Amino acid sequence: MIDDGTGLFTIGELAKATGLTVRTIRYWSDEGVLTPVTRSPGGYRLYDAESFARLELIRTLRELGLGLGHVRAVLSGEQTVAEVAAAHVAALDAQIRSLKVTRAVLSTVARRGSSAEEMTLMNKLARLSAAERKRIMEEFVAELFHGLDAVDPAIEERMRSIAVDLPEEPTPEQVDAWVELAEIIQDPEFRAQMRRVVEFNAADQGRSAAPGRATWFPMRLVQLGGAALERGVAPESPEAEAIVREVLGGGDLTAVLERMESASNNRLARYRELLCAVKGTAPAAAHREEFAWVVAALRARAAG
């Protein structure tokens, strides 16, 4: 307190009493959140006892991460502390989500040994808005079914339900899966593979295939391939002939093989796994070995 009987304090005295630096107090004063009550004859800013309480409130709000705009609103009575705290919580939640995305991207870059170009692409994909992510998925599904009417309703419903998005608070694994999924579905070669799968289904329906056959058929292939693997039947062996005939069901060998190759490759299996990862659900069994056995048996007959 200056020794003139006024009960006023200089910035230096405030700093000594509060442990804050003179520079910090002067900055807050310059920004209008700690207004001096008057000035000394020499032009120095002077503060009263209430300034101490105001200064402690400013320090507390700043230590909690609030900007000077929010501090000024609280001190002026424009907003309550509770209102400002709620707004700050929302801002922190957004920051946390952003940090999770950053962590996932950097983890993926480190694991892949990515180039600068790949890292830039991954970061861009991960930070797309929810609306942009939804648009990418919906455009992908729309392209798959464009111009096709005779598609098994069960398949179409399942495909249209895949327009997944990241949850409000994604795990690093979910962000990582989304990045890889977005890369896959924007690859023209993969889109062409998926389109062929849907076209095969539409062709089946156009030939009056029974509803649900498109979902039943793969299950039957898993059963046949699994049983053959358990018995140790080689795909090219004579014993595999009966299994191949059931797979063909009177159809053309070349056409069935082409369909099987389009629908049972590893990239499609990875695509399904990523969908489950983004949704946070357990991945369905890919049955890669069973499908591979059936494809190998068909190829053996086609080559012979």
pTM of the model: 0.50
* Residue 93 or 250, more confident: 93
CA distance linking residue 72 with residue 99, whole number of Å: 28
What are the b/e assignments for 265-282, b being 16+ CB within 10 Å? beebbebebbbebbbeee
CA distance linking residue 276 with residue 255, whole number of Å: 30
Q: What pLDDT score does 22 carry?
A: 93
Domain map of the chain by residue range? 9-79, 82-118, 128-303
Q: What is the CATH number of domain 9-79?
A: 1.10.1660.10
Residue recorded with tokens 């190759």 = 261
- Please name the residue ranges forming H helices in 186-240: 188-206, 213-231
CA distance linking residue 289 with residue 273, whole number of Å: 16
* Residue 289 or 129, more confident: 289
pLDDT in tens, 210-269: 444 444 566 777 788 888 889 999 989 988 888 888 777 767 788 777 777 766 667 878
